[in-house]
A and B are shown apart, each in its own frame.
Chain A
Amino acid sequence: MSGAVDISLGQLALASLLLVVALGASIALKLGLTRGLAVAATRMVAQLFLVGLVLEWVFSSENALLIVSLAVGMAVLAGHAAVRRTSRRYPQIWADALVSVLGASFVVTGAAVLGILQIEPWYDPQYLIPLHGMLLGNALTGISLSLDRFMEGAGRERGLVEARLALGATRWEAARPLFRDAVRTGLVPITNSMAVMGVVSLPGMMTGQILAGAPPAEAVRYQILIVFMIAACVALAALGVVGLAYRRLFTADHRFHPDRLRAA
């Protein structure tokens, strides 16, 4: 089986004509999206070319420090993006999201490249960067969903939480329903997508591998690996970030501080 057809710049220009469909709809229906579409499309092209350049550079360097720095940089962006999607915040939320996303993604990526795939060298960017990137995208969603749910619950169920505390509950007994609900919410998307994977949706990574010439059976194995990794990473990240948020809103002296929450 051969690799994919190389796409020339001329062919890309041809592909950009496909955008005319969306632009045409926007103009004809006066959706007011024309400018937005054009800007977004331009940004997408520029960002991807830039990422391509960075990756080419990092891939050819074979420098472990550089590769790990890239992975850390990606995680920082993911943590930041996760918090930006929340509707309430507390002062240390940025640090908490960052710690969770870094911890969860590095533990799981590490387990995969060192333990399961046993890549030599372990920092081979061909494996490390795409696996890590897939995890981050999902961890980001898991963190923002579970954090948002936890803080929303703490605000909405403030009276119930206080009632439990007033009746002698420890901070954990008072917060447990919120905690469980939040972690569950973070795990719903990956659970749902696993159930329909390959039937309703063809996963992007698998499709990409097949396009690049990999035998479908091999692409499927990678896909299964990555989905297990994603599930573990999302679970770790959601548990981690809700645990940290719990410690900010419920102090060790069993007091509840909903006043630390601010609308974003």
Chain B
Amino acid sequence: MSVPLVSLRNAGRRVGERWVWRGLDLDVAPGDRLAVRGPSGAGKTVLLRALAGLDALEEGEVLSEGGPVRSLPRHRAAVAYAAQRPALFEGTVEGNLRAPFAFAVRDGDAYDAERARSLLARLGRDAGLLAQSVDGLSGGEQQTVGLMRALLTDPTVLLLDEPTAGLAPERAEAVEAVVAGFLAADDRRAAVWTSHDAPQLDRVTDQSLDL
């Protein structure tokens, strides 16, 4: 068996006095397509944020490729968290897609405008969106930009938090197809999904974690 890309060992997160989850063990291995299921408030988002190294654990640890995380920026570049309501930077959509490539962790990688345009087309959006200011975007468009921003950085693990919530069915299907294509392009890549849409999780994942 190959070394897991990212793992939790005996992990616990506490918010205030309440343990959101505790004693959690999880391995995300190359090629995995994992669903995180649970009622609202079970801590699905908290779990994705912990995997991305955004919030510190109160108990246990996050492992990267089987060992301790040495550099969080490097870890986060490999394990990308796409938020349900992404925070977009002031400026244009394309400026947002470019932004991650300004960080030292991606030294040498460059933003690929051609790839962004083709991705946009596959998501069923007009190429004109790239030049638009983020101010006027609808909720669904913001979500699309957030997803593209994560995909274009070529992470190994994609953490998708309700990536199609609020999208029309045909757009949701396009997102599923794009993510499937992204995973198929490199068999090391893995994805972790949360969704309110149980049939969707059945379609796009092959294992699940119940919180």
Contacts and interface: CB of A to CB of B under 8 A. Distances in A.
Interface of A: 159-160, 162-170, 173, 253-255
Contact of B81 (A166, A169, A254): A166
A167 B83 contact: no
B145 to A, nearest CB: 11
A168 B54 contact: no
A195 B48 CA distance: 52
A173 B73 CA distance: 10
Which 10 residue pairs across A and B have the least CB separation, nearest first? A159-B87, A168-B77, A168-B105, A167-B100, A163-B87, A254-B72, A166-B81, A160-B87, A169-B103, A168-B76
B74 interface: yes
Nearest to B105: A168
**Which of A162, A163, A166 lies at the interface centre, i.e. has the most chain B CB atoms within 10 A of its CB?**
A166
Contacts of A164: 99, 103
A167 B76 contact: yes
B103 A173 contact: yes
Contacts of B105: 168-170
A254 B105 CA distance: 13
Nearest to A172: B104
Contact of B103 (A160, A162, A168, A255): A168
A150 B106 CA distance: 27
A140 B128 CA distance: 49
Interface of B: 52-56, 71-74, 76-77, 80-81, 83, 86-89, 99-100, 102-106, 149-150, 153
Contacts of A162: 54, 87
B72 A167 contact: no
B89 A163 contact: yes
A57 to B, nearest CB: 53
Q: Report which residue of A159, A160, A254, A255 has the largest number of chain B beta carbons within 10 angstroms of its beta carbon.
A: A254
6 contacts: A165-B76, A168-B77, A168-B100, A170-B103, A173-B104, A255-B54
Most buried by B among A162, A164, A168, A170: A168
A165 B80 CA distance: 10
Nearest to A157: B87
Contacts of A169: 73, 103, 105
A164 B54 CA distance: 11
A167 B104 CA distance: 11
A168 B76 CA distance: 5
A166 B76 contact: yes
A162 B71 CA distance: 16
A170 B74 CA distance: 9
Nearest to A253: B72
Given A162-B54, A255-B72, A167 B87 contact: no
B86 A163 contact: yes
Contacts of B81: 166
B191 to A, nearest CB: 16
Nearest to B75: A168
A168 B87 contact: no
A260 B54 CA distance: 15
A254 B56 CA distance: 11
B192 to A, nearest CB: 14
B106 A166 contact: no
Nearest to B15: A259
B56 A168 contact: no
A129 to B, nearest CB: 46
